[in-house]
Structure 1
Amino acid sequence: MLNRAVAPEAKPIGDIHLKSPKVLAFNNGIPVYVFHSPDQELVRIEWIFNNVFNEDENPLLNSALSALLKEGTKNYNSAEIADKVDFYGAFLMPEYGFDITSLTLYTLNKHSNVLLPLIKEILTESVLPQKELDTYLRNNKQKLQVSLQKNDYLARRTYYNHVFGSGNRYGKTPSLEEYDLISRDALIDLYHKQFTPSNCRLIISGNVSESLLQELSLYFGDQWLATDDVRLTEPNLTADTGQLIYDERAEALQSAIRIGMPNINRNHVDYPALQFVNTLLGGFFGSRLMRNIREEKGYTYSIGSAVGSLKYGGFLTIATEVGVDVTDATLTEIEKEIEILRTELATIEELDLVKNYLSGSMLGSLESIFSHADKFKNVLLSNMDLTYYDHYMNEINAMTPEKVKEIAIQYFDYSKMIKIVVGKMKTLELVSEL
């Protein structure tokens, strides 16, 4: 009989094998990456476009364009598009990110001959109706007004302003006045610049039939005329360092805290090691920040740290919300944990725990062909290939106490981090010391 009082034997995770795509190209130059799995009933098609920015680098235009993409074309209004997609049991989702905008379709192969012409029309003949734009602007201004009353939202937007600088696509945050400046003419101009064959990549995963590939090649290769290459510009990132920005809220019961700094991205050789040290610090439930600030001190329900990789940079952020009476103490404890990382060697047992967690997370994230496609997409957008994950796993498994300390010294410097506090602090003296 199974003795549930005894933990099962832990066994190391072996090599993790990622599926590679079949690489094709349409006649107009669009690269196509195919992950075929006959056991999967669905097929997922992702049209991926780099975001195009003008000199103002206003990301509100790009996010608005993404939201309005399926709200009306030459032959269909928004309701007709939604009804047609629903009728065939499909799912269509535009999505905006810092660097890319994508349009994703989930469907069955047998419905592709009906849905692909619709997608083609969305990407080539959207009209971005003024009525839908007015609704979008009204709704988002209302959401922003509500969000501006929340400490965590204020802390997050202030963090981006200072970590990247407020004059570029990564650091600029929306204002009510900027929503009023969005025009349909500007969106149409951006639409024609951004959604072109030269700026498109396709990732197709699931039960990818030959007939589906032929239809895709027809609609998005032969019938979508090639264009000049899109000119992509690199943002001018201007980070602040070492500051504490304090926004006092007289009635606050909690303080929202964001701490972080610009950092390396996935293209850097140290990125896997950075992820490892971040996980140890605050990247999972058993992390040092959670054990100290949640479990031992009881200052918060949740605290965590994360590293992010963008096309033109990376960042480290620590986030939590705590009672106003322990705001100062929380900052002190965060600084202490970072200093311990930089001055003391971690134990082998703690490192093994993080290694097992990260290896298990990698293995657990590969439950379907769609997951393999997602892993490939991550490296594709960083201009890398799947060998990155071999490097990632090798670096994770090779981490030592000395390497953890070395990475912490190089990439986790509390004195250079920006500290954002929205709420209340007890003593201004502490503020001046940070």
Structure 2
Amino acid sequence: MIDRKLAPEFKAIDNIKLIKPEHTKLDNGCNIYCFNSGDQELVRIEWIFGNLRFDAAKPLLNMAVNTMLTEGTDTLTAAQIADKIDFYGAFLQVDYGYENSQVTLYSLNKHLHHTLPVIKDILTASVFPEKELETFKRNQQQKLQVSLQKNDVVARRDFNKAIYGDTIYGLGATFDNYKSLQRDDLLAHYKKMYQPSNCTLIIAGKIEPDALKLIKDTFDSNWKNGLEPADTTQPSLQPAADLFYYTEKPEALQSAIRMGMPFVNRNHPDFQPMQVLNTVFGGYFGSRLMANIREDKGYTYGIGSGLGSFKHGGSFFIATEVGADVCKDTLTEIEKEINLLKTELIPDEELSLVRNFMLGSLLGSLENVFSHADKFKNIHFAGLGYDYYDKYTSTIKTITADKLKELANKYWNFDQFYKVIVGKY
């Protein structure tokens, strides 16, 4: 019989085994990574492209081109693309990120000879119809109008602009940015970016030999590079000189707070140790920020901190929305928690809890072959190898309270944080 007064036993996680891909490269320069695992006849195929260099004069091209890929080709309308994919029980989506944009297809192996030609058409013959472009611009402007009424959205935009400057990471789109989009610019951008030499193709699932051959045949000899290679370099980050930004909203019941600083990315040796420190501070539900500002003070429903890692930079940030009347008090409490980590050692019990949480989260995130492919993407596009995860688990298990205190003093100076407040202060 189970004694519910006793906590269940837990065992330490010794090591985590990751599925590694098989790599091939097509003659046209497209790299293919295959994660062959699973029992179901389902595959996920991702065509991932590096975004072109950010142009401040035309800042939305990377996002607009990717979002509109499925709006029509030389031979298919948007409705026909959707109908063909749906008919075969497949799923298609496009996703835009700061550094990469991608097209993702989920399909049964047996239907790939029907679904792959649709993707091929999207990647080689998209036309960005004028009518759909105008609809896109109108819809995005309406979404922006709604978003700018939200304090947390404004705070995030202002914070990113402050620490990343005039780059793809700091972009906060304006109505005029959308209004100025032109079809000719989208077409030129598309032809330069969506070419095989700028593509990483990641396949995960139960990959039948015939299916893999079909994928390679479809996207090799029939997919040509353009005359000009894709320029995926990015301007250097230039953080702003001012550290404090306040947007007053006299009627606001809540104030959005976002603060932090430019930071190292996952290539830096301190990044993984700082992930442990950040988890203690504000990186999970049992963190110190949550215990103080939500549980003890009742200032907010949620508060957290995080580390952002990009190819060309990174960030440390704290984000929350609190009652407008306790905004200043919240800042005081955040500073207090930072100073405690700089002056006092984290107790063994607390550090042990964080270790188990972080290792358990990593293990829990590897539920299927798609998850293993996602872990690969994290390191591949950062130029890292699988030893990154070995070092990650080792760091979590062995880092000391003394080292974490040293890191808090090395990196966290509250007075030097960029601070953004939207609401009342």
TM-score range relative to shorter protein:
over 0.9
Cα displacement (A) at 1:59: 4.1
Cα displacement (A) at 1:66: 1.1
- Residues 48 and 409 from structure 1, CA distance in 2 versus in 1: closer, same or farther, beyond 3 angstroms? same
- The residue that corresponds to 2:359 in the other structure is 359
Tell whether the 8 Å contact from 1:242 to 1:416 is kept in structure 2 after alignment.
no
**Equivalent residues in 2 for 1:5-154 (5 A)?**
5-53=5-53, 55-56=55-56, 58-154=58-154
Letter aligned with residue 171 of structure 2: K
Cα displacement (A) at 1:25: 1.3
**Equivalent residues in 2 for 1:261-280 (5 A)?**
261-280=261-280
Q: How many equivalent pairs are there?
A: 424
**Equivalent residues in 2 for 1:232-381 (5 A)?**
232-240=232-240, 243-381=243-381
**Equivalent residues in 2 for 1:213-232 (5 A)?**
213-227=212-226, 229-232=229-232
Cα displacement (A) at 1:240: 2.9
CA RMSD of aligned residues (A): 1.2
Tell whether the 8 Å contact from 2:54 to 2:168 is kept in structure 1 after alignment.
no
In structure 2, what is the Cα distance between the partners aligned to 1:57 and 1:287? 42
Gaps of 5+ in 2: none
Letter aligned with residue 221 of structure 2: D
Letter aligned with residue 151 of structure 1: N
Tell whether the 8 Å contact from 2:254 to 2:423 is kept in structure 1 after alignment.
yes
Letter aligned with residue 176 of structure 1: F
Letter aligned with residue 170 of structure 1: Y
Tell whether the 8 Å contact from 2:38 to 2:369 is kept in structure 1 after alignment.
no
In structure 2, what is the Cα distance between the partners aligned to 1:250 and 1:243? 22
- The residue that corresponds to 1:405 in the other structure is 405
What secondary structure sits across from 2:44 in the alignment?
A: strand
- The residue that corresponds to 1:175 in the other structure is 174
- The residue that corresponds to 1:431 in the other structure is none
In structure 2, what is the Cα distance between the partners aligned to 1:77 and 1:213? 28
- The residue that corresponds to 2:204 in the other structure is 205
More displaced stretch, 371-380 vs 213-222? 213-222
In structure 2, what is the Cα distance between the partners aligned to 1:149 and 1:38? 45
What secondary structure sits across from 2:273 in the alignment?
A: helix
Cα displacement (A) at 1:241: 6.0
Tell whether the 8 Å contact from 2:260 to 2:318 is kept in structure 1 after alignment.
yes
| 1:53-81 deviation per Cα after TM superposition (whole angstroms, max 9, x unaligned) | 25427442111111100110010000000
**Equivalent residues in 2 for 1:388-399 (5 A)?**
388-399=388-399
Tell whether the 8 Å contact from 2:236 to 2:312 is kept in structure 1 after alignment.
no
**Where does structure 1 differ by over 3 angstroms across 4 or more consecutive aligned residues?**
226-229
In structure 2, what is the Cα distance between the partners aligned to 1:39 and 1:242? 55
Gaps of 5+ in 1: 426-434
In structure 1, what is the Cα distance between the partners aligned to 2:153 and 2:343? 33
- The residue that corresponds to 1:432 in the other structure is none
In structure 2, what is the Cα distance between the partners aligned to 1:101 and 1:405? 38
Letter aligned with residue 128 of structure 1: F
In structure 2, what is the Cα distance between the partners aligned to 1:277 and 1:148? 33
Tell whether the 8 Å contact from 2:54 to 2:234 is kept in structure 1 after alignment.
no
Tell whether the 8 Å contact from 2:278 to 2:305 is kept in structure 1 after alignment.
yes
- Residues 210 and 59 from structure 1, CA distance in 2 versus in 1: closer, same or farther, beyond 3 angstroms? farther
In structure 1, what is the Cα distance between the partners aligned to 2:24 and 2:197? 15
- Could you state the TM-score of these two structures normalised by the residue count of structure 2? 0.98
In structure 2, what is the Cα distance between the partners aligned to 1:178 and 1:102? 22
What secondary structure sits across from 1:221 in the alignment?
A: coil
Tell whether the 8 Å contact from 2:46 to 2:202 is kept in structure 1 after alignment.
yes
In structure 2, what is the Cα distance between the partners aligned to 1:52 and 1:158? 24
Q: Taking every aligned residue pair, what percent have the same amino acid on both sides? A: 50
- Could you state the TM-score of these two structures normalised by the residue count of structure 1? 0.96
Letter aligned with residue 325 of structure 1: D
In structure 2, what is the Cα distance between the partners aligned to 1:193 and 1:116? 22
- The residue that corresponds to 2:186 in the other structure is 187
| 1:195-253 deviation per Cα after TM superposition (whole angstroms, max 9, x unaligned) | 01110011100011111111111111121124454222232211136722111111000
Letter aligned with residue 396 of structure 1: I
Letter aligned with residue 142 of structure 2: Q
